[in-house]
Structure 1
Amino acid sequence: MERRLTAILAADVVGYSRLMGTNEAGTLAAIKALQTDFIDGKIAEHHGRIVKQTGDGMLVEFPSVVNAVACATEVQRGMRDRNADVPGDRRIQFRIGVNLGDVIVEGEDIFGDGVNVAARLESIAKPGGIMISGSVRDHVGDRLDLAFEDMGEQNLKNIERPIRVYSVALNKPAARDTKDAVPAQREQLERPSIAVLPFNNMSGDPEQEYFSDGITEDIITDLSKVSGLFVVARNTAFIYKGKPIKVQQVGHELGVTFILEGSVRKAGSRVRVTGQLINANDGGHVWADRYDRDLTDIFAIQDEITHAIVEQLKVRLLPQEKKDIGETPTDSVEAYTYYLRGRQFLHRHSKSNYQLARRMFAKAVELDPLYARAYAGIADCDSFLSLIYHLDVGIDS
């Protein structure tokens, strides 16, 4: 009999019977869409494995409690945003419980006390909430920017011993020790901070969205190589994609001083990229430029935008950083285009999209056998397809 210690996440749909009674087909379709469009991707990002699914819930295994709690948090926060405009009686909400415990392994399934405790923790969570065991809380420590409310020892149904239970405070960041917080705040204050918002696709063709998103991501990547800058992560910046924004409000929400926004127009072998750097404190323009070039110059455009921002913010660029930013990932614009298409599919988080992404990355490698980023993309797809969908994948697949 195989046993192992593992992090277990149990999730359940709140009021499943009521939702099914009201609209069976609609409820099933909505849950399936959530699973494929949102939840599967979150589980994959945190290296989880779906052990089993029922109509109203799921059991997921993670290699670490930090991954499990981070995934649960992102799912619940994402569901809150998704439900914002949905009538109360039609909202799909989850209860989630997370435990660290010993399990019995039989094939792809897991059983035992560790699983039972996770299920009981889920049952006492509030709609949209997360309950974790004391063992999970101890192992998470201060590795996540979360606060936890001690609920004391609880007598859970069919569990012989009392379990120390904590509730994850989703709306409250972790309290930091003052002596630790001051240096961190000072460091961020000393470094210029910037968010690169998704560039608008001005091509008149929604199918070109992958290209404008890809340009945005690559500029974020290049700026992140500069140690003298604090750059907001891609996933955070892309929350604002397609939404009307007020620069000063975005700056306040993200805690940054500068916002870079722009647009991309791709037509045949020509591309036009515009960019403007705005001071989020007063809304004033710091820098703006327009680049009309051949598509083959796309990497040079990204390089020039990055250097312009570094110069405007008076950041010292180290020799190695300058070299890293100037490196061209591929000499083939066609391979780069396939790579960007692959990234677009990869961010959609579903089995079919991972498979499409893999095809795009493979085509990029075919066009440029030395394209390292495309190989990395294939590896990402293989990882997700193997972990979530248990598919056999390999370099020749």
Structure 2
Amino acid sequence: MQQHEHNTIHRWTDFVGTVTREILPRHQGVLVKSLGDGLLVRFETVLNAASAAHAMHRAAARQNAGFPSDQHFHLRAGLNAAFAWCDAQDVYGTGINLAARLATLAGPGETIAGMSAYMELAAALAGLGQPGETIGNAAARDALTNGIDATCEDLGDCFLKHFDMPVRAYRLGPASPQPYLTGRRDYGRPMAPTIAVVPFEARSDTRAYLDVGNLIADGVICRLSKAVNLKVVSRLSTAAFRNRPDLAAQVSDVLNATYVLTGSYVADGDRVLVSAELCQASNNQVIWARRSSGSVGDLLAPDSELTSRIAQEVHTAIFETEVEQIRTQPLPCLESYSLLLGSIALMHRSNKQDFLQTRTLLDELINRHNRMAAPHALLGNWFILRLTRGWSEDRVQEAAEALRATRAALDRDPSDALALATEGFVHCHLLKDLEVARQRCDQAINVNPSHALGWLYRGTIQAFLGQSDAAVEATRRALELSPLDPHRYYFESLGATAELSAHRYESAERLARASLALNRMHSSTWRVLTIALVHQGRMDEAREAVRNVRHLEPNLTVDSYLARMPNADLDTGRDWARCLAAAGLPRGR
């Protein structure tokens, strides 16, 4: 505006002239006042008001032709159906204020309509609009015929400035490319993809084996249902799709599934050969396929090796697919579940650039789902990992930001187990307050006794405190509760820490090596392995392990290790630092 003031004023006066000369007479509207960058207009009917708003949007779009995008004019319109008091100078009533507020809810080129019969509702509906939107209330919407006079989209109850109660609002016409509000149905879109497992088909008609396909599906569903970041459809809903052609498309349409797992089997005696494939329902693309063999008896076991293996590989394939989406698609084109799974996966990658990209993904998730606790809690966890990897630049500032994130999560849901557990680890690693940290993790477990991360973090804190038996019990419980976690290496690494505190050095070594088999770039695991080897007197292997620590963290010394560890002044911290020094980690700079 300041850079093109003369041109802007000229274009606005031209637009107002078009409105007063052409649009308002056509739709029986009366201009009450021009506000410099807005108009207040009254109509006798909602239909006339909506039609006039649509005509104004079109007039503004025509006027934008030939100008660069940063000089475009866009209207935000708010409609309200209400009584008003009028005289020769103005119109009066609280409904006027409501219309203005509704306009603030509109996106560029949109119209928002409110529900109340009062003028204050009209003002609120205008507040719902962004530039180019028309917003209307329920009373206004009821006067329109959907699909003929206007398309109406329910935006739900909206909170407006200076209004104590929420106002029901509707978007008239299509959403703009930059809507301020997404449709009511979009706010409820899950941040977890849905997978449908269809009972596997028999490749022979031997009646004795007809239920094997159900057994395979049941076992995979049971295993996948333990994954907290997936929604799994019941077999009772997927059974009807078995043996149907074009199966993935049908399942996607009817069950709204993101992924569809199908397969077939051949049984001979106690042996069974299973072929399985996982499709992305949106494009019917196969993203994973495998042939596996096992026994029919195994399928009857609660922890079937065959179905567990299929479920694990399917779970991994889904995460890898979503990471690929993150790498190849712009943020606005990504589903929220892609952002969620992608951020969880990249947060634990060894590459620093991948880790930093996670912050961008979480910020986008928070922007889309600001009222949900999970994205804020994950952001708090991001700060913890940033510190434990030695990438923190300002411990005090990042502690404050991490607490701000977990507080935001708990403000939205005080009983969110992830937020409570994460805040516990913030108090542990960033604030070094182990007692408060333990209390937060206890709260998380009380809220959700099956919350794996709550058990994992509590066990780690107990390990630091030297409460060794409780630490081992808690971390083992965490591993049992999260068999498909994409970050199993992290669970095994912290489990190894708990075993160290209990002086179970062989168990600590076993878990550390299992963790390193999944992720060799996690420095903390190499430190745990070093300490376990020193305590077993295997110094050559310990020195080799500490060389890996120094490769991953070239600036790490015993002093800097103690400076960041929450148990530095406790027996566990002093013992672990001594072992690292004995293996060759430098004392100081």
Query: Which is helix-richer, 1 or 2?
Result: 2
What range describes the TM-score normalised by the shorter chain of this pair? 0.3 to 0.5
Query: TM-score by structure 1 length?
Result: 0.36
Query: TM-score by structure 2 length?
Result: 0.25
Structure of higher CA gyration radius: 2
The higher-RCO structure (CA 8 Å, 6+ apart) is: 1
